[in-house]
Structure 1
Amino acid sequence: MSDLAYETEHPERWSPEQETEVLQALRPVPRISIQAFCETEAIADPIERAAQDRRMAKAHLKVHMGGIATAIEFYQSAATPNLIILESRSEPKELLSALGKLAEVCDPDTKVVVIGHYNDVWLYRELIRAGISEYVVAPVSMADIISVIAGIFVDPQAAPLGRTIAFTGAKGGVGSSTLAHNLAWAMSRLFESEVLVADLDLPFGTANINFDQDPAQGIAEAVFSPERIDEVYLDRLLAQCAERLSLLAAPSTLDRPYDFDPEAFSQIIDTAQRTAPLVVLDVPHMWTGWSKTTLARADDVVITATPELANLRNAKNLVDTLRKLRPNDGAPKLIINQSGVPKRPEISVDDFADALEITPLAVIPFEPQLFGKAANNGRMLGEMDRNHPIVQTINELAHVLTGRRELKPKKKTGLSALFGRLTRK
């Protein structure tokens, strides 16, 4: 057991917005085993919710009902995990006595967190002597639990992790990849920050074309050789697209099938985060184990859709699913692209937004000349016409997605009649 003990902030002082801010500042917890022994549902519930958070995706957490006595009996015949979380309503002296008995069946390197119901200075001092990793006074929130675990197992001296922004389309051909690439380019130019683009569409990726690159190696070498992945190896696979923009390109060939398990890209993304402060993930329009995992664990998800019915249905499914997969994060971001195609009937922006209950970050008009010339020349939109209104919109989006500016939400008017038609049986 370690030798640090202190009290966290009481969660009743946190609003939902503040709790979200606390969670967003936390780094992912490493692969550790955690077992919790709770006496009340009020403590078990936030711990179980914490287990579902994306920051805990690598950790294995199991909740048992029953306090310290149950833990002592359990570990008589079971190995202790990396971390034990204990709830106790016992008075201070009884608590210390029970912890002494627990220490007899605990491995020396197991860390212990106690959630107690007594705010007592004497108790804190005694817990320090007992070697408890941390003491938290009930009630606790889900953010408290993750903060406690991260505080113990995440090295504060480690290099900061890059932020991941995953782009995906509600349908194929809606321009998600084009926007992802142009926004990555804009971020690298506007903020003079290193940006890494990972094209995850191995058979049909377009990043190499859009950036006018033909690298001999790329993401395929990484995903098929996971045992070799580290910062040095990843750096060898990167193509330099601009002064501060690098690309992990897709092979864009059909010489083999690209079937992956759900964790196939996790190590690559983790390594990329240690390489650049901004990592843009170009996720193809598909629903597989690995695409679901990638979207669920990204810091931000941006959905691109065009204003028509199939896009609305797919976007609604994506938003609802991601809200369930990421219950402690904000809703996915939405960009409506290719608006105003001549003679094409379209769903109004207000109806589209009301159905999803999301205010779009931007509505980008249909502009085939600008996009077509850029694509055919392997250039970014900003390189073709830096003063074009769409380029200015992309620059604004870059500020919003990196947290440098906030989107001012419009007042919601309720779900549209169109959404009613979608959900009607």
Structure 2
Amino acid sequence: MVVSESIIDLSGGEAETRAIEMSPDALQDVRPIPRVSIQAFCETDGVAKPIEKAGLDRRMAKAHLRVHKGGIRAAAEHFSSAPTPNLVILESRYPPGELVEELEALADVCDPGSKVVVIGHYNDVTLYRDLMRRGISEYLVAPISIADVMEVIGSLFTAPDAEPLGRSIAFIGAKGGVGSSTIAHNVAWAISKRFSSDVVLADLDLPFGTANINFDQDPAQGIAEAIFSADRMDDVLLDRLLSKCAEHLSLLAAPSALDRTYDFAGDAFNALIEAAQRGAPVVALDVPHAWGDWTRSVLTRADQIVITATPDLANLRNTKNLVDTLRKLRPNDPPPHLVLNQLAIPKRPEIEPGEFCDPLGLEPIAQIAFDPQMFGKAANNGQMVVETDPRHAAVAAFDHIAHVLTGRHEGRKPKKSSLFSRLRGK
């Protein structure tokens, strides 16, 4: 039995009806909901609004949810002339005895295969047991949160023995050339090395991707074959297309060829990303600086997003647009992470990090100084920065980003490099 926090009347009286405030982190472990139909019949806004907001969540993208006004009687009337969906959610303010009687009337018009969740206003264990005996799938006590709704739907339609899904992390630059791919590749390497955790790195920039160059790989097949074979994408095909970069790091390389155009539908990468998540705890997505149906879909569905920017006005504008848009597309998720890169370029006017971040409402998780010699040497050698110089200040930044993205916080951020301090005149 799921009992929401705080204002439940334990004496059996009616609960106050208002939605519970929820931290975005409360949904971090909720699995995506499969393709099911759901109809909810609500008597109060305090129950209807969390259900409506749950329907807008990225994890509910495949599900079809409709919210109606009215409780059990409205549902019985509706389903007397319409088929019942996979799940019916019912709110009722009736006391326990009358609630059971009302549900009996609904049973006459409800298909046997439909699941039913009841949201009541009485915290009554006897009522809960009675409802379970009568075949009700779950009983929630109002008030409820979005997390309550998502968790109960997930528990009903996700196999309890299903393997956990890996987390997808999308890296995108606020502008082209800001180093987002370099950040993505080095952080993916750091996660695989520091935590001995399997990572799949997918280079989504099919015409101009650089992951194969940065890892000194030349695979015969890669992400293009995965995308153009999406209808038969499975774990076996994915394993065949992956290129091994290190013990725990595998690469889906881009062809980096212009023999065809790469215009994709919005859901083109969904099957590939889902297959990768079934096989690895972390899936790093190197997303090109572009804006179309498929890039928006990838960013909307990702578990975490990292935006890389350099401190100038165009980057500030683009980052602000990205952050505002993603907050609308992902209302129940934390905001994106921000990395400030290529700082302290000699003689280049820059916006101070504090002034850059203030209109965004974000704190950068890393600030990386401009060092063309080191990054250029690593790129030309097909190596990560840590392989070129394990003591370089950027290595600590990549490690810190890896800790933040995996939830293994270090306690304090790495210090800015001596080069950064010197060029700032400190």
TM-score with structure 2 setting the length: 0.91
The structure 1 residue matched to 2:227, chosen from 217, 223, 226, is 223
**What code does the residue aligned with 1:152 have?**
L
State yes or no: 1:9 paired with 2:4. yes
Aligned to 2:255: 251
Task: Report matched runs for 1:14-413 at 5 Å.
Answer: 19-405=23-409
Q: CA 1:280–1:407 in structure 2 vs 1: closer, same or farther (change >3 Å)? A: farther
8 Å CA contact 2:72–2:92 kept in 1: the answer is yes
Deviations 1:186-230 (A, max 9, x none): 111111111100111111111111111111111111111112101
- Which secondary structure does the structure 2 equivalent of 1:258 belong to? coil
Query: Could you tell me the percent identity over the aligned residues?
Result: 63
Counterpart Cα distance in 2 of 1:213 and 1:15? 50
Q: Distance in 1 between matches of 2:345 and 2:34?
A: 47
Report if aligned partners of 1:11, 1:141 keep a CA contact under 8 Å in 2. Answer: no
Tell me how far 1:94 sits from its aligned partner: 2.0
Q: Aligned with 1:274: secondary structure?
A: helix
Displacement of 1:77 in angstroms is 2.1
Q: List runs of 5+ in structure 2 lacking aligned partners.
A: 9-18, 414-426
Distance change >3 Å, CA 10–CA 172, structure 1 → 2:
same
CA contact (8 A) 1:195 1:244 kept: yes
151-160 or 382-391, which moves further after superposition?
151-160
Give the Cα–Cα distance (whole angstroms) in 1 for the partners of residues 7 and 226 of structure 2: 45
C-alpha RMSD over aligned residues? 1.7
- SS at the partner of 1:386? coil
TM-score by length of 1: 0.92
Q: Deviations over 1:333-384 (max 9, x none)?
A: 0000000111110000110111211110111010000110111111111110
Compared with structure 1, are the counterparts of its residues 353 and 406 closer, same or farther at alpha carbon in structure 2 (3 Å cutoff)? farther
Detail structure 1 runs of 4+ shifted over 6 Å in the superposition: none
Secondary structure of the residue aligned to 2:257 is coil
Instruction: Tell me, yes or no, if the aligned pair for 1:196 and 1:280 is still in contact at 8 Å.
Output: yes
Deviation of 1:156 after TM superposition, in Å, equals 2.6
Tell me the alpha carbon deviations over residues 132-178 of structure 1, each in whole angstroms, 9 at most, x when there is no partner. Answer: 00011111111111111112112231111101111000001000001
Instruction: Letter of the 1:101 partner, please give it.
Output: A
Task: Tell me if structure 2 keeps the 8 A contact 1:203–1:253.
Answer: yes
Alpha-carbon distance in 1 for matches of 2:392, 2:167: 28
Deviation of 1:78 (Å): 1.6
Native 8 Å contact 1:11 1:140 kept in 2? no
CA distance in 2, matches of 1:407, 1:73: 57
Describe the superposition over 1:306-338 as per-residue Cα deviations: whole angstroms up to 9, x where unpaired. 000000000000011111111111110000000
Partner of 2:12: none
- Cα contact 2:20–2:144 (8 A) shared by 1: no
Deviation sequence 1:31-54 (CA, Å, 0-9, x none)? 111110111111111100111112
Change (3 A) 1:234 1:309: same
Which amino acid in structure 1 is aligned with residue 3 of structure 2? Answer: T
For structure 1, the 5+ residue unaligned runs are 1-5, 410-425
1:383-413 CA distance string (max 9 Å, x none) = 100111111221122112211106769xxxx
